[in-house]
Structure 1
């Protein structure tokens, strides 16, 4: 573990910053732990940001549906400084021309009393949709944490495999030096020397490939963190990789998943919301009853006029008319759409189909979870068995390598035997390392499948 960490610290000089948070210096030359990587990804991930915005929008939708139970109030005012009116007058047998000034003020409040429970159903649908958005946000965070954990372990695994390749190359070079000295004193042939040189060159190629994979995996982790290159970072010591991580039976894991999976809860809440939308669509078949109250006032002042028989009339000022000519009205309005061209029938049918589709998605997700539990539990048990086999193989490979190397130095074994023993030892070390990390990765997959990935307390609902 420590060698892999030292390599990752020395190999990668990449940059970390928080443009939106303004905290680039906080992680300058810092070794990031798995928990810190998860925190960074939770803050920067596009999927998490979009899920947060969707939750905010659902909250606004709830407030909008609450507002339907409150009166709708509107105010209006108008002022016309001059209006010219010209018309024919039968009494004066001529055209009448009048210029007036007018002002009006009005305030109207309307409250829906009944509309077929459409507003109530819309509110219930909005509340269920908000809960669904909250679960969707939590599942998005779990997905981010799962993805970062996988990438983090993969980067450390490639780093350790590179160190194994480097150590194998060092052993091959030491053997090359020994073979060269033995050739000089006549203990080894030219063929043995050439074979050892070819073997060393092959190990150098293996190391180059391992370094490339390690660099690529670490860059992939940083890409998932969505950080800008401004601070030199590294990866801290990885958490201890247990070789015997206990898990429960498939039945208990399935029950836990069905109880904890946020995407399953979101699907169930979404189905509830769509069911309430069916009720909301049916409300259009019922009459709508509204109570209305309005109050207003106005005034008109004659500025000038002309006609063959025109007579001027004194009138109160506009201000006096506004103060003394107020009026109000209270009314009940009933509106019932008898036939709307089958529009309501279509809306109800569309809402029903959406609800049925959501229930189908919910059932499919349940079955998928049950199958995934069976599959992931089998993979986890296989990973535990692989560790036991890999440990046994490594012990045998180390013993075989030590024995063949001593024989080769004494001239009792050929180069082919030595090369085969070295390759077997290299493969055994690599296999054990992969098996340990594979077990940790499989445990992470199980946690994700059962909805047990821990999240920061602020994200819990």
Structure 2
């Protein structure tokens, strides 16, 4: 839906079929994949990391360009009043002299302990690390929006169950009132049923409050207008396909080490810190560089006596002669700079870079432990969710049949209200347990993909 993908400010309309809306309701529907797309588009954190990735790419380009020469075009125009050296006369003059000079200068480092090369490698690794960070951040957004969307769906289902139970209890109350008036039921049955009806109504109201709160949380994650409303729909996922997942620890660990972006980011950051340490160590080495300069100048001396001007007609030669011919110069050569002492600043930087590298090694180790922990937790939770789904399904079938039989017995007057209410509570609880087990299984499928680092929006389309 194109209207949703455009993001903030579009009109959402919350409506749930169980709210009793009319059939002609034209409110827009926020589907699961659209919610994920909006989250990816509007996430502040994700967009900030994308901007940081652009900055990292520029830094990498700058490091690559630094391998070449630094070139600058320099120029100046000045007036000297007093003693100065006149290039045209080849001597010092005392007076007013104008000078215009232009030069093209270049310098390139030939060797400095491979500082520039290591700096380039460092920035390349940092770009990779930031790209993985963007990928993991996008998975964080998908995971958050997915769980919140499915939570809203679960809340809707629990609200529907609570409302249906309230409707049943309310109808049962009206029926018992008729029986009491006819004298076929004791008045205490009416009071008991009224208490059960109010309890069911309270559960329904609490379910509605939970639904509204979770919908508000989803709205906040999507950066949508909280005063607008939307309705959601259950994804058409096959629960049997979802349950068919390879949960072998070795396979999951191998997959995670290939795809888990936060682990890969830690590895790339460690490599970047290693190259950064080596680049800083290179500054301790002598720097050998080549340089070159090509320039020219123009001089004009004021106040030259006529006698001097007549005998030295070439003192203030024309602009073209000076600037294009006489004053052109070329300078080139090689130089070496040997660092001796700078207050131990370079050595302090080397120590700092080494500490950064050692800390990044610890971070990589921690990321690997976190990866294994997440895999183990996701695997066990998914297995538990599968068992809960099967058990709750069987429980629902048994409770539904028991409720149906008990309802018939109560209508025939064979059983009392207490036994009938007990069967009804068991049936409602079984419905609730099944709904929770079903959505928990959907949650855990997403958690498995998130733990493996393979979670992507294409999985939900």
The TM-score by the shorter chain falls in which range?
Answer: 0.7 to 0.9
**How far apart are residue 106 of structure 1 and its match?**
1.5
In structure 2, the partner of 1:320 is 321
**How far apart are residue 145 of structure 1 and its match?**
1.0
Measure the CA separation in 2 of the matches of 1:334 and 1:259: 46
- 1:444-455 → structure 2 map (5 Å cutoff): 444-455=446-457
Measure the CA separation in 2 of the matches of 1:148 and 1:241: 20
Gaps of 5+ in 1: 1-14, 88-95
In structure 1, the partner of 2:88 is none
Taking a change above 3 Å as real, the CA distance of residues 116 and 443 of structure 1, as seen in their structure-2 partners, is same
Deviation readout 1:123-175 (Å, 9 max, x if unpaired): 01111111111111111111111111111110100001100001001100110
**How far apart are residue 357 of structure 1 and its match?**
1.3
Alpha carbons 2:220, 2:226 under 8 Å: kept: no
2:219 corresponds, among 214, 218, 222, to: 222
Please, which moves more after superposition, 239-248 or 282-291? 239-248
In structure 1, the partner of 2:87 is none
Measure the CA separation in 1 of the matches of 2:201 and 2:402: 23
- 1:389-400 → structure 2 map (5 Å cutoff): 389-400=391-402
**How far apart are residue 252 of structure 1 and its match?**
1.4
- 1:426-445 → structure 2 map (5 Å cutoff): 426-445=428-447
2:363 corresponds to 1:369: no
In structure 2, the partner of 1:256 is 255
In structure 2, the partner of 1:46 is 44
**How far apart are residue 443 of structure 1 and its match?**
1.1
SS at match of 1:340: coil
2:187 corresponds to 1:185: no
Under a length normalisation based on structure 1, what TM-score does the superposition of the two structures give? 0.87
Measure the CA separation in 2 of the matches of 1:394 and 1:280: 66
Measure the CA separation in 2 of the matches of 1:154 and 1:19: 21
Taking a change above 3 Å as real, the CA distance of residues 440 and 181 of structure 1, as seen in their structure-2 partners, is same
Under a length normalisation based on structure 2, what TM-score does the superposition of the two structures give? 0.87
Deviation readout 1:308-363 (Å, 9 max, x if unpaired): x9955542134421122111111211101123333332222221221121111111
2:345 corresponds, among 332, 343, 346, to: 343
Alpha carbons 1:74, 1:107 under 8 Å: kept: yes
SS at match of 1:215: helix
Taking a change above 3 Å as real, the CA distance of residues 172 and 103 of structure 1, as seen in their structure-2 partners, is same
Alpha carbons 2:27, 2:230 under 8 Å: kept: yes
Gaps of 5+ in 2: 14-25, 85-92
SS at match of 1:195: helix
Please, which moves more after superposition, 423-432 or 309-318? 309-318
Deviation readout 1:388-435 (Å, 9 max, x if unpaired): 221222222222222332333333322222222221111110000000
In structure 2, the partner of 1:132 is 129
**How far apart are residue 241 of structure 1 and its match?**
5.1
Taking a change above 3 Å as real, the CA distance of residues 186 and 241 of structure 1, as seen in their structure-2 partners, is farther
- 1:246-325 → structure 2 map (5 Å cutoff): 246-248=244-246, 249-304=248-303, 311-312=308-309, 314=313, 315=315, 316-323=317-324, 324-325=326-327
In structure 2, the partner of 1:5 is none
**How far apart are residue 228 of structure 1 and its match?**
3.2
Alpha carbons 2:5, 2:34 under 8 Å: kept: no
Measure the CA separation in 2 of the matches of 1:31 and 1:163: 19
SS at match of 1:69: coil
1:235 corresponds, among 232, 237, 240, to: 232
SS at match of 1:156: helix
SS at match of 1:379: helix
Alpha carbons 1:156, 1:238 under 8 Å: kept: no
In structure 2, the partner of 1:64 is 62
